[in-house]
Amino acid sequence: MSFRPEPTYNHGSAPTTGLLLCNLGTPDAPTPAATRRYLAQFLADPRVIEIPKLAWLPILHGIILRTRPAKSAKKYASIWMKEGSPLAVWTERQAKMLQGYLGERGHRLIVRHAMRYGNPSIASQLDALREAGATRLLVLPAYPQYCAATTASVIDDVSHWMQSHRNLPELRIINRYHDDAGYIAALAESVRAHWQREGRSDMLVMSFHGMPARTLAMGDPYHCECLKTGRLLAEALGLSPAQYKVTFQSRFGKARWLEPYTEPTLRKLASEGLKSVDLICPGFAADCIETLEEIDMEAREAFLHSGGQQFSYIPCLNDSPAHVRALASLAERHLQGWPTQTPPQPAELARQREAALITGASR
């Protein structure tokens, strides 16, 4: 491999840290063409679809990318905000708020947001951080529960960028925060505020993004981490096991995924006589097509059509101050041990030179 010459940034000044907040990514526009571009990149990632490329790519290009983009684009159009795709809008706001909050607390930090698929790409934001002088890098994938399909894929992409550069930043990665006290407290605060505004339902369903069931047997900690988040949130809210349920949504393809599935569970609960349900998606740092369309539209309809009377969706933490405080505190703890070194002052340099002459260290 050959490397391009690279200017030496940040020479002689105090180290600057780049904080990269990463989420999944989303189409640039709610159109079939933009959705197709996004899905083509997303669904070609071997971390997402664990089928040999030779077998998968003909299915992806021959079947899925011919039909799914138009259907998904309609769903995106139904949730699009005036500033853009919800996932992009919230993630950008989160990064801006983190910059403000951590800056006020005296950190020498540049915060950027990036998307694993689509824009702004992880590579483009790592380039920008390097050009801004960051010699240390803290990566925060906005996935509370570690999953190979999401967290490891972000790490793959960061590593890919690293492979084409010479003078690499020091690197730290926040792999998970599923049991972080600040994150659990922010979720609990948001549920309590919702109950105060809208009243409390008979049950709280916590719906997480699904994964193929076999990934659990293969050692992915995702399922266990979802269950732990669910238990901790229930404890923080004082809920008994009968008052909440953890479910998995967004099944893709025909294989078995993690169970119980969200929508069939809601239908079953309603048919058994449950009248009202609160639904929260604690695995999503920001509202997106999976929460706003699949849950707040499709799952709502399924529950109400099966005999349920009230379906109350509790939004993701998005740009709530409690969320930003929790993420900032998480980042701060991961920044520890990276002392802010001030560059040696002229008098100190003279002293070092003198000491070196006395001890002969420079010879």
* Binding site feature residues: 209, 290
User: In whole angstroms, what is the distance from residue 312 CA to residue 172 CA?
Assistant: 38
Residue 121, strand partner residues = 115
Residues 37-56 as x/- pattern, contact with ligand L6N33NVT by CB under 6 A: -----------xx-------
> For residue 203, how many C-alpha atoms fall within 13 Å in the half-sphere facing its CB?
23
Cβ proximity to Fe ion, 247 vs 250, nearer residue:
250
| Cβ-defined contacts of 79-83 (< 8 Å, 24+) | 79/288, 79/289, 79/292, 79/293, 80/30
Cβ proximity to Fe ion, 45 vs 189, nearer residue:
45
Q: Which stretch binds Fe ion (CB under 5 A): 30-38, 170-178, 291-299, 338-346?
A: 291-299
Helix (H, G, I), strand (E, B) or coil at 19: strand
Determine if the peptide bond prior to 221 is cis (ω within 30°): no
Subset of 201-220 contacting ligand L6N33NVT (CB under 6 A): 209, 211
Residue 49: CB minimum distance to ligand L6N33NVT, A: 5
Q: Which stretch binds Fe ion (CB under 5 A): 10-18, 59-67, 188-196, 246-254?
A: 246-254
Cβ proximity to ligand L6N33NVT, 98 vs 149, nearer residue:
149
Quickly count: other Cβ atoms within 10 Å of residue 349's Cβ: 11
Residue 230: CB minimum distance to ligand L6N33NVT, A: 14
Phi/psi at 238 (5° precision): 70, 30
User: In whole angstroms, what is the distance from residue 138 CA to residue 334 CA?
Assistant: 8
Quickly count: other Cβ atoms within 10 Å of residue 237's Cβ: 17
> For residue 265, how many C-alpha atoms fall within 13 Å in the half-sphere facing its CB?
19
Which of the choices Fe ion, ligand L6N33NVT, none does residue 26 contact, using the CB cut-off of 5 to 8 A by kind? ligand L6N33NVT
Residues that bind ligand L6N33NVT (CB under 6 A): 24, 26, 48-49, 68, 72, 85, 87, 143, 147, 149-150, 209, 211, 222, 250, 252, 283-284, 288-290
Residues that bind Fe ion (CB under 5 A): 250, 290, 294
